[in-house]
Amino acid sequence: MAVIGLIGGTGLDHWGEPTEARVVATRWGAPSDALMRYEQDGHTFWFLARHRRDHTIPPHRVDYRANIAALAEVGVSRIFAVNAVGGIGEAFDAGVVAVPDQLIDYTWGRAQTFSDSDRERLQHIEFADPFDPGARAMLLAAAQAAGVVLQDGGCVGVTQGPRLETAAEIRRLRRDGCDLVGMTSLPEAALAREADIPYAALAVVSNRAAGLDATPITMAAIEATLADAMGRVRTIFDHLPDE
Ligand code: HPA
């Protein structure tokens, strides 16, 4: 039976009624929230609300190191992340759920690594493919079993937030090769790799990115799109195959 870490983002701050809520302290600090344990379809899930269950921690203030260290502490063998993102490429309209395969980092000032002092092991992780192929394959198989259509692949540009981008920033991200734009995939994915935990993500497109639609982006529209798409995301996790 697999023990799976599930990091929920905007639109997925709660999972349901847990069998256990565990407060985990790490040497990096406190994770965003208590870890919530669920037994589901033969798997143990440890759910962590990235922005806390009351959705008050902004992307640049999330303690990504504490979050990954806490999931390592409870012994997860995989981490699946859910990220709300804006769509840049034509295939990434609002409501699309993607399994991204690449990342570009536009963040600054975040604690990026566990290799952060001479007391730590200095690691130069291999990160050409930032998402674990086996964990990605599990998500794709789960979606197929659930009858949910996913976009296989996509490059996420990770911006600092919490503001949304300017239209010119989105034009630049498009020139750089980004299909999607979000605020939280890094340093999360890199820290999971440093901790040697296979990591993959579902990127849920909540809106077309800045300047791509005639009308401005509103939080109300984002929330409505996410509420609809998260139903499909939950179904995917109901159909995760055995490892
Ligand atoms: N930009 C960055 N992050 C996001 C967006 C966006 O348009 N939508 C949801 N998360």
Tens of each residue's pLDDT in the chain, 243 residues: 789 999 999 989 889 899 999 999 999 999 999 999 999 888 999 999 999 999 999 999 999 999 999 999 999 999 999 999 999 999 999 999 999 999 999 999 999 999 998 888 899 999 999 999 999 999 999 999 999 999 999 999 999 999 999 999 999 999 999 999 999 999 999 999 999 999 999 999 999 999 999 999 999 999 999 999 999 999 999 999 987
Please, what's the largest Cα pairwise distance for the chain? 52
Does ligand 1 come within 6 angstroms of the Cβ of 84?
yes
Rounded-to-integer distance, Cα 10 and Cα 153, Å = 21
Q: Which domains does the chain have, with CATH numbers?
A: 2-238 (3.40.50.1580)
Does ligand 1 come within 6 angstroms of the Cβ of 209?
yes
User: To 10 degrees, what angle do helices 219-238 and 133-146 make?
Assistant: 90
Tell which residue, 64, 21, 83, has the closest CA to residue 46. 21
Rounded-to-integer distance, Cα 240 and Cα 35, Å = 20
Q: Which residue has the tokens 């734009």?
A: 181
HSE-CB of 212 using CA atoms within 13 angstroms: 23
Q: Which residue has the tokens 């069998």?
A: 19
Q: How much distance in Å is there from the Cα of 186 to the middle of ligand 1?
A: 14
- Looking at residue 41, its pLDDT comes to 81
Does ligand 1 come within 6 angstroms of the Cβ of 165?
yes
